[in-house]
Amino acid sequence: MHDLTIVIPVKDPPDLQRFVRENLEVLSASKKVVIDSGRGEQLGRLPNALLFQRQVPMWEARRIGYEEVRTPFTLNLDADTILPNGYVLDSLNALRKNSCDAVAIDYDPPQGHYAFGTSIWRTELLKKLYDYPPKAVEKLIKVGEREWVTAFQNGFCECMYMWARLIRSRAKLETLGYKATHLKKPCSFR
């Protein structure tokens, strides 16, 4: 997959060994830009990996990664995600045929919208559209022991924001029937 670069932001992944093991085929076949904000240095040892160690929010890590991409296509791959077999090749085939500008899938179980952290884009369009967050984000939400930076005061998360940007740009989104696995445990509000 010489025409694909994978941008991997990492911050305290729940199971990095499983992430590597179960995504090894795509990780081995493509260039990688790893932005490590905690416990991701192992990814920098993969072949064709460029490692940046920076303590930055997820969206800033993505921005740093996008600046390094020189291939026509970019896969966003969050370090807590397992991609389904066949997804990347089918996505690249759709992109290469010019039938779409980005490809998205959901998680199993569904999260209610297509995931940005598993999406594959035409690099030029992604670099043009990615300006998240739309304004400074200062709020933290605390759930149990975990703290989450949120842009929900803007009315949407990064995923929803980027799909809206894509649609407003008149670009085409393809959705495939694959489902990714999310390694984070669901939040409990009890």
Segment 13-30 shows an average pLDDT of 96
C-alpha–C-alpha distance, residues 41 and 51, integer Å = 8
Residue 30 near residue 75 (C-beta atoms within 8 A): yes
pLDDT for 184 equals 80
pLDDT tens by residue, 63-90: 999 999 999 999 999 999 999 999 999 9
The beta strand positions in the chain, using DSSP E, are: 4-10, 31-36, 49-53, 73-76, 81-82, 102-107, 120-122, 140-143, 146-149, 173-182
Domains of the chain, each with CATH number or no CATH: 4-126+172-181 (3.90.550.10)
Under DSSP, the state recorded for 84 is P
C-alpha–C-alpha distance, residues 80 and 186, integer Å = 12
pLDDT for 190 equals 37
pLDDT tens by residue, 31-65: 999 999 999 999 999 999 999 999 999 999 999 99
Write the CA distances from 45 to 35, 48, 63, integer angstroms: 13, 9, 21
C-alpha–C-alpha distance, residues 178 and 18, integer Å = 19
